[in-house]
Structure 1
Amino acid sequence: MALLLDVLLLLGLWANTISGGQPASTNRPGDFNYELPATKYETRDDYEAGPAGLLFHMVHLFLYVVQPRDFPIDSIREILKQKSEPSIDYQKVAYYEMGIIICAVLGLLFVILMPVVGFFFCMCRCCNKCGGKMHQRQKKSGRCQRKCFAVSLLVMCFLISIGIFCGFVANIHVQTWMNNTQKLATSNFKDLRTLLNETPKQIHYILAQYNTTRDQAFSDLDRIHTLLGAGILEKLKPEVVPVLNDVKAMATAIIRTHESLENMENSLQSLSNGSSQLNNSLTNVKDNIQNSLNDNDCSSARDQETCNRVRASLSQLEINPELGQLPSVDQQLSRVNEILKTDLDKLATQGSRSLEDIPNTIKNQTTEVVADVKAVLNSIGHNIDSVSQQIPIQSTLSSFEDYLNDTEYYFYYYTSIVEKNDSFWWLSSLIICFLLSLIVLFFYLGLLCGICGYDRHATPTTRGCVSNMGGIFLMTGVGLSFLFCWILMFIVTLTFVIGANMEKLVCEPYANKKLFQVLDTPYLLNQDWKYFLSGMMFSSSDIELTFEQVYSDCKNDKGVYTALQLQHIFNIDDHLNIQQHTGNIMREFENLNLRLDSITLLDDAGRRNLQEFAESGVDKLAYDTYLAQADKSPVKTNLLGFASILEAEANRLSSGSLRQSLKTEAQTIRTIYQHQVLPMEQSLSTLQQSVQILQHTTSGLPTKVAKILYNLDSAQNFVTNNTSSIIVKETKQFVTTIIGYFEHYLQWVKFAISEKMATCKPMATALDSAVKVFLCGYTVDPLNLFWFGIGKATVFLLPALILAVKLAKYYRQMQSEDIYDNVETVPMKNMENGNNGYHKDHLYGVHNPVMQGKAKPGRACMPVM
């Protein structure tokens, strides 16, 4: 109990040491996830007795049978309240202690009666009574009784051995408690020092996290043009950017239209000139061939048919006359050239640039506000630093550390004294266990020698020395039992009363927290204080601060601030007013007055340019006519094929000038194809591509332009009418983000200080180590196991010694025996009864050797008792 009060005093001193909690991690959504550095403690918060735990549990069950009543909270309260008065209700105490009292009385009766019975038994044996006479009457059931006695004694010895084993286990468990206690204490003291050392680090960590939060806020404020301005821009872009992109696309379409019209004009001019030249060239070729065919070389019947075929094929040398008559696009090209004098793409880019300039405009307008907000954020940091300094931690850590040093010094000082005297306890319990072991060893040896040396054919007076030695061992065990068992029972009774009451009044109520309920009784420990802890810490005993609540909170790893309700000393809410700090930031942002100049997406010149392009007439050109002519060849026949046929016909002619002339013209036709037809075909291909591009570009041109102008008006109206509301909304969101950083941080600081800073789990662990482990685990449990084992062995000694006395008669060598004329005749009954029950003819001697003078002496083995 003194150790318990010391730990509670430790909690009280710690209350003066820490006036605010320590940081805890909150897994709340936000830009930061603050997490205190993990503090590692060595001491385990659970205790395992190991293999001996099963034996301890068995003792607990026995105690529950002896004392099944619940912890008498009300009775204990009444006793403590009446501690200064003699009027204690002993009846209630006796009722609760009934089971223990009964067992103690039985033990005392055993202690008193056992030596008395032993004394009379010894005196009786010395007078040859109570089986002291070395004569054994033979009975019909003798063999069965001997076996039953032997088996029963063996069972008793086994049960006694189990009790001795429990005593040895308890002794070994106690032998190691000193080393374990020192290790446990060292671990607890180290954890408490770790708690003291980690507290300043946790405070510095909290302040460092403010710097991180402030730096993030400063970074956002420095990037207000990209965050706030970009937010405004992102809200405008969906309505504006598509329209401007359409305008830029139309500007690109105008350029592509101009390029296509130029290509068409050039192709048409090339086709017109090429058609005239090609017509002249083909006419000259036809005339030359015709003149050659009119020569006399075609007069022969052999060549005349060839000349006629050549003459008939000359009609194929004709051009496509429609190529030179395609309509010109000069008028449309001229209009597009006028339209291109206005740079529509530049005008659209200017509209886009007016949007992209929004971030710079925001930056220029928020310079002073950003500076003021930064000043407020710095002041919050100074306020938090001031609050941390106001928490009386550093100023009282030294005094608590001195107290801890003194406690540690006295612990090791008294531990060394206990360690020096620990051998006496260990040696005493070892002697008790060995004494019981010696008794049961005599019983085991008696059984071993008696069973191994027993000869069923030998008479009681002719038994061997081995058998006789077995009986002597048994009687020696009986003598030792009478001599020491009452001393053992006295020790068992004494340790039983102490250990059982410690278990039922301290260990068990501590485990189920009923002991805390007693300590938490109003006006119990101090008549002037309703709650002892609150009166000791706050000088106000009406605050409901209980031992059970403090222990449970510390056990659950809560901070001292919450566990000890230190808000009654230093209220963190009053010093870290989140609404006050965030309100200061909000007031600075209220001075933020953003204005955006008029944003013009496309001026009137750009609109006129679009309208003129729609009215240029490029969409009304005869694209089908151009495409139809572009698919045709400049000449009606394939000139290369015609040249090859002409050359083949010439080869059929007889050698002469005509043949050579036709070959020359064939080569001329090939030259015309290479230098005139191919360029015209290239011009036709260019014309076809240009027409197709132009047709695709100008398809539905008026409708497209009308749609662009309509969308342009809609976007312009959206920008004009909604920019102000967008600015307000995005500004509010930006401010909320900045404030959210510090609101989240301040809430975490409040939670950290109140919940997790300086978690008092090492204190609860130290209390558990003192009571649950050291007092109950290392002391009470082994003590209870010791009296349980030794008591069990001592109790079973009583039937064991009775059985040993009975069994010794069957093993020891007798001085006289009953003699019969027939060994198979059943031994006669006691002659002292006056009727032996057998026929006289069978008997030639009686059991009394003095009367008959035929006593049969036994062997020289000295009788014992």
Structure 2
Amino acid sequence: MDMWWKVGLVLVMCSGLTSSEAREEHWDSSPRSMVLRVPVETLDFGFVPSVVYETHAYYEPGPIGVLFHMVHAFLYVVQPNPFPKDLIVKMVQQNMGGIKGNDYKKPENVVLLLQAIYYELGFIVLTVLGVIFVLFVPIVGLCFCVCRCCENCGGEMHQRQKKNGDCLRGFYMATLITTSVFLAVGVTVAYAANQNITNQIKSTRRFVSTNIRDLKSFANYTPAQIDYLSAQYTTAKNKVLSDLDNIGTLLGGQIHNQLEREVVPALDNALRMTTVKVEGAIKAMRETKEALESVTTSLEILQEGTGRLQNSLQSERASLSNTLNDRACSNGDVTHTCNTIHGTLSQLALSANFHGLPDVEAPLANLDAVLKTDLSNIVQKGYSSFNDTPRLVREQTKAIVLEMKGLLDKSGGEIIGFTKMFPLEPALENFTKFLTESQKNIEAYYPQIDQLDFYRWIGCVVICCMVVLVLAFNFLGLLCGSCGYDKNATPTTRGCLSNTGGNLLMASVGFSFIFSWMLMGIVVTTFVVGGNIEKLVCEPLANRQIFKIIDTPYMVHPAKKNFLPGMLFQDPNIDLTIGSMYRDCYENNGLYSALQLETKFNFNKFLNATVYNPELTKIFNSVNVDLRGMLLLEQEDKDNLIDFANTGIGDIDYQAYLTEVNKGVTVVDLLSYANELEVQADRLPRGALENALKGHASSIRQIHKEQVVPMEQAMKFVKARGTLSQSIKLLQKTSRELPIKVTNVFNAIETVEYLIANNASHVVKKETDKFIKNIVGYFSQYTEWVKHSLGTEVAQCKPISNIIDSLEIVACSFIVDSVNTFWFGLGGCCLLLIPSIIISVKLAKFYRRMDTEDVYDDSMDVVVCGYHNESLYGINNPVMSSYPSYDTMRWYPRASAPPRQPDW
């Protein structure tokens, strides 16, 4: 027994577990570890190397199972009470120290004794009846023999003939045949049970062999399973490393996706404003710029011509004024004309003053710079900067990732080192050697077991042969008696074969008296032992009620609550029972779960303390992503937007341009003025004044032709080139809307930057926590998988339950059921021997040759009794003379009988 407990402890050590009381679970102190989010990806840790156990602890008895069920039903009738768990517990606990002196008289012990007697009442009654049978059958047999020797109890060799004699003989014969058949069935049942034990010896060897092989497999596979558990930490670590290597894509991508809901619409709005509204203004500015450039070129021409024209007109106006101031204009009628002409001199002046127009060089320069600014590209830079979030996250977490990788390698080394710190190989080697030696020792007893079983088989066969001997005499007696019986022969003239049949039947009676009490003694003994073992051991073992007795607190020792943990761990307060261990092993769970090793060897606690160590927790808590450095617009782009909004085109005096362009070159048409001057000159008398005025008209025409006409053509060209008036009007409208539109774009982008820098912090923190929880979730998957594997797949203890089940099959199904079936069949034979004795005695009268017989005299109507010899005394019997074949010496009955008819 001690050796087996050592084996159990070795198996525990083989589980690769040790106490981790020195390690603390620091991770539980972290707020982030309180609620773990299920990772997006479920890790595949593969399958723990499994072992297929050979033992199938199941027994199907086959046809003999019907007999087993019959015996069980009979025992249920004898003992219908449920298993007395409470009674046994009380008896064991109260009498644990032994009963001494007058302790039997204590009320509690008396009550328990009465309860035990009540429970065993059926066995007691049948046992008493069996003992009576054993005691009285020899006595009855002896008395029967003595009585027959005194010619009583059927010992007188005289048979009284009756009218229904043939019916009685037939009845007795049928009854004896039936009884003998049942006797044969009973002895066959006993022989089958006897043979079943011998047949199952090989199965017992098979159970021993497979159970030992299963224990070896259990020991050999356990280290590989533990190594597999520790190796699968690499799966979780590699997944974590992969996520850390892709932290930019995973974490940065999630942050980008969350912010995208608000950032991208803002950028899209800015891009839409640049493409729809601002681009329209840019088109107008581009057309206006071209028009202004043309106007600027034309204005240079006009301004240059305006100067020459103004000088020419001033000179002509001065010359004409001098002419009109001549004395000739002082004469009567001439004076009015001169005064009229003198009054029109002011019309010889410029109408459009192009020199007074504002300079557009600066606005043109600003327009040129603005038109070179690509607003769509500025917004696209914002997209690009926002899409660069993964790179920004990767750069900010680079140092943390490196530190975390180092800690993961350290934790993996600690887990592998933990599984290697025990000398498992020597322990397993010693355990395997122990199993091998044990198997050899057990196999060494096989010849002795076979020999003992042979002796047992011979003994049971001898016992069965006692019944078979009686059966043989019964059947031989019936055969001889039936075959030798002559219905026309009188009792005194029966043949030798018939007489032999009767003698054989009487021999069966004698052997029945000799063997029946011995057989009943064997039946009673095996019934008491086998029946109680079946009811008190096998049945509670089959329904596991017996485990409840063993697992009853303080059952084995008054100071030890639980038996199993007290033996294994020297700690009886652990809530571990044989029943719970058997259930777990029967379900092929791991030994770690079956023995509740977490109470002493908490591997999960060690694993949590290793995987979720404080340094790793600190690193997780230090993960922080700051997006405040993200700029959608560089300062240069912001300045370009400001310059775009402040081109200065809104400050141009567009009305002055429009006014001057719409004016004529001169105040009056010079050709009309020259023609009017000639008309006035024609009204004057001929002379020098007339000629002088006509000369001035000719000069004016010359000025118009040489200076005014080219300027008018230049102005027409400007108007024709770009409809300057319309362009200026469009630019005037655009110049008022453009700063507002550009400012809206600028404000939209700045709003997005503010959102990313400030309001996005909760998004960043939320996604960072999710990423960390995913990382922790991979470790959580690993620890949960290890916990599940330790409980269900590592060191599966099915061999332990198989050992218990195999013992139950061997002890109960192979032995106890067979023994019970043996006494059941043999007991039936013992009971049937009683009617067999009675019927054989009755039937033997009809087969044996009698010394005397009944003779009925028709003439005297009396029966003459006694010896009668016709040849000796010469008496002529008229009745008997009709039967010449009868013997001459006969017995006659003491009572009369009806006359014998020939057809009887």
TM over 0.5: yes
Q: Which digits, 9 at most, give the CA deviation of each residue in 1:132-163, with x for residues without a partner?
A: 33321112333333333233223322322221
Is 1:105 equivalent to 2:117 in the alignment? no
Query: Counterpart amino acid of 1:794?
Result: C
The answer as to 2:615 corresponding to 1:600 is no
Structure 1 position 427 matched with structure 2 position 442:
no
Task: Tell me the equivalent position of 2:184.
Answer: 161
Specify whether residues 534 and 392 from structure 1 end up closer, same or farther in structure 2 by C-alpha distance, changes over 3 A only: farther
Other-structure match for 2:563: 532
Contact 1:7/1:767 (CA < 8 Å) preserved in 2?
no
Which of these residues, 204, 215, 222, is aligned with residue 181 of structure 1? 204
Residue 77 (str. 1) matches residue 92 (str. 2): yes
Deviation at 1:180, TM superposition (A): 0.2
Instruction: Give the aligned partner of residue 741 of structure 1.
Output: 778
Query: 1-side partners of 2:445 and 2:748: how far apart?
Result: 94
TM-score (norm 1): 0.68
Alpha-carbon distance between aligned partners in 2 of 1:572 and 1:417, rounded to the nearest angstrom: 47
Matches of 1:467 and 1:106, distance apart in 2: 37
- Is residue 17–residue 400 contact of structure 1 (8 Å, CA) maintained in 2? no
1:777 lines up with 2:813 in the alignment: yes
Change (3 A) 1:490 1:759: same
Farther-moved stretch of structure 1 (478-487 vs 789-798): 478-487
Distance 1:13 1:85 in 2: 42
Distance 1:230 1:530, change over 3 A: closer
Contact 1:181 1:774 survives alignment (8 Å): yes
Instruction: Specify whether residues 7 and 813 from structure 1 end up closer, same or farther in structure 2 by C-alpha distance, changes over 3 A only.
Output: farther
Higher alpha-carbon deviation: 164-173 or 502-511? 502-511
Amino acid at match of 2:43: F
**By how many angstroms is 1:796 displaced?**
0.7
Normalized against structure 2, the TM-score is what? 0.66
- Distance in 2 between the 1:126 and 1:560 partners? 76
Give the counterpart of 1:31 among 12, 24, 42.
Answer: 42
The 8 Å contact of residues 414 and 610 in structure 2, kept in 1 or not, is answered as no
1:727 aligned onto 2:764: yes
Partner Cα separation in structure 1 for residue 258 and residue 548 of structure 2: 64
Query: What's 1:481 paired with?
Result: 512
| Offset, 1:187 | 0.9
Q: Which residue of 1 aligns with 2:444?
A: 413
Q: For residues 387 and 344 of structure 1, what CA distance do their matches in structure 2 show?
A: 64
- How is 1:491-510 mapped onto 2 (pairs within 5 angstroms)? 491-510=522-541
2:126 partner SS: helix
Are residue 842 (structure 1) and residue 861 (structure 2) matched? yes
Deviation larger for 795-804 or 486-495: 486-495
Q: Structure 2 unaligned runs (5+)? A: 20-37, 285-366, 651-736, 892-904
Aligned to 2:244: 221
Residue 765 (str. 1) matches residue 765 (str. 2): no
Is the Cα contact below 8 Å between 2:471 and 2:508 reproduced in 1?
Answer: yes
Q: Aligned equivalents of 2:564 and 2:753: distance in 1?
A: 73
Matched, 1:212 2:230: no
The residue matched to 1:60 in structure 2 has which SS? helix
Aligned partner of 2:28 in structure 1 is none
Inter-partner Cα distance in structure 2 for 1:123 and 1:84: 50
Q: Distance in 2 between matches of 1:417 and 1:339?
A: 114
Q: Distance in 1 between matches of 2:8 and 2:436?
A: 15
Which of 49, 60, 72 matches 1:60?
72
Question: 2:839 is aligned with what amino acid?
Answer: L
Give the aligned partner of residue 149 of structure 1: 172
Is this contact kept in 2: 1:502–1:780, CA < 8 A? yes
Seen in structure 2, the aligned counterparts of structure 1 residues 802 and 711 have a Cα distance that, compared at 3 Å, is farther
- Matched residue SS, 2:122: helix
| Structure 2 counterpart of 1:760, one-letter code | C
2:481/2:497 contact within 8 Å kept: yes
Q: Could you tell me which residue of structure 1 aligns to residue 142 of structure 2?
A: 119
Give, in whole Å, the separation in 2 of the partners of 1:239 and 1:540: 63
Equivalence for 1:20? 17
- In 1, the alpha carbon distance for the partners of 2:624 and 2:595 equals 49
- Are 1:799 and 2:817 an aligned pair? no
Q: Distance in 1 between matches of 2:458 and 2:580?
A: 43
CA contact (8 A) 2:581 2:594 kept: yes
- Supply the distance in 2 between the matched residues of 1:741 and 1:846 (Cα, whole angstroms): 117
Name the CA distance, whole Å, in 1 between partners of 2:487 and 2:790.
Answer: 88
**Cα offset, 1:492, TM superposition:** 1.8
| Sequence identity percentage | 37
- Partners of 1:255 and 1:64 in 2: how far apart? 103
Please state how far the C-alpha of 1:84 moved relative to its aligned partner: 7.5
* CA deviation vs aligned residue, 1:583-618 (integer Å, no higher than 9, x gap): 532311333332333332795668999999xx9xxx
Moved more, 181-190 or 498-507: 498-507
Q: 1:347 to 1:388 in 2, by over 3 A?
A: same
Query: Are the aligned partners of 2:5 and 2:568 in contact in 1 as well (CA < 8 Å)?
Result: no
Mapped to 2, the partners of 1:705 and 1:449 lie a distance apart of 136
Shift of 1:729: 1.7
Counterpart CA distance in 1 for 2:802 and 2:483 is: 59
Report the CA distance shift for 1:96/1:611 in structure 2 as closer, same or farther (over 3 A). farther
Shift of 1:424: 1.3
Answer whether contact 2:186 2:828 (CA < 8 A) is retained.
yes
Taking the aligned partners of 1:606 and 1:441, their CA distance within structure 2 comes to: 128
Partner of 2:854: 818
CA distance in structure 2 between the aligned counterparts of 1:129 and 1:608, rounded to whole angstroms: 152
5+ residue gaps, structure 1: 23-27, 262-335, 616-700, 823-839
Give the 5 Å matches for 1:622-633: none
Q: How does 1:273-672 map to 2 (within 5 A)?
A: 342-343=373-374, 345-389=376-420, 396-451=427-482, 454-463=485-494, 467-521=498-552, 524-526=555-557, 529-572=560-603, 574-578=605-609, 581=612, 583-596=614-627, 597-600=629-632
2:507 and 2:643 map into 1 onto residues whose CA distance is 135
Which residue identity lines up with residue 777 of structure 2 in the other structure?
Answer: G
1:484 deviates by: 2.2
Q: Return the alpha-carbon distance in structure 2 between the equivalents of residues 767 and 61 of structure 1.
A: 25
Q: Contact conserved, 1:531 with 1:543, CA < 8 A, in 2?
A: yes
AA partner of residue 42 (structure 1): E
Q: Name the CA distance, whole Å, in 1 between partners of 2:751 and 2:867.
A: 146
* Matched residue type, 1:51: P
CA 1:848 to 1:577, structure 2 compared with 1: closer, same or farther past 3 Å?
same
User: Alpha-carbon deviations, 1:507-552, whole Å to 9, x = none?
Assistant: 2232343433443455554465443333333334344443333333
Offset at residue 217 of structure 1 (A):
0.5
The one-letter amino acid paired with 2:66 is L
Residues 125-144 of structure 1: pairs in structure 2 closer than 5 A: 125-144=148-167
Q: Which range moves more in the overlay, 128-137 or 241-250?
A: 241-250
Query: Which residue type is aligned with residue 132 of structure 1?
Result: G
Residue 40 of structure 1 deviates from its aligned partner by 1.6
Cα distance in 2 between the residues matched to 1:812 and 1:249: 134
Distance 2:559 2:427 in 1: 28
Q: 1:422: how far off?
A: 1.6
Read off the aligned partner of 1:110 and give its amino acid letter: F
Partner amino acid, structure 1, of 2:224: K
* Distance (whole Å) between structure 1 residues aligned to residue 595 and residue 762 of structure 2: 51
Q: 1:841 to 1:705 in 2, by over 3 A?
A: farther
Say which is worse superposed, 395-404 or 582-591, in terms of deviation: 395-404
Offset, 1:53: 2.2
Matched-pair contact (CA < 8 Å) for 1:12–1:533? no
DSSP-derived class of the 1:576 partner: helix
Deviations along 1:411-458, whole A, 9 cap, x unmatched? 222233212322111222223334423422432344455456555454
8 Å CA contact 2:491–2:850 kept in 1: the answer is yes
SS at match of 2:221: helix
Contact 2:382-2:632 within 8 A present in 1 as well: yes
SS in 2 for 1:81: coil
Contact 1:108 1:490 in 2 (8 A): yes
Pair 1:74–1:230, CA change in 2 (3 A): closer
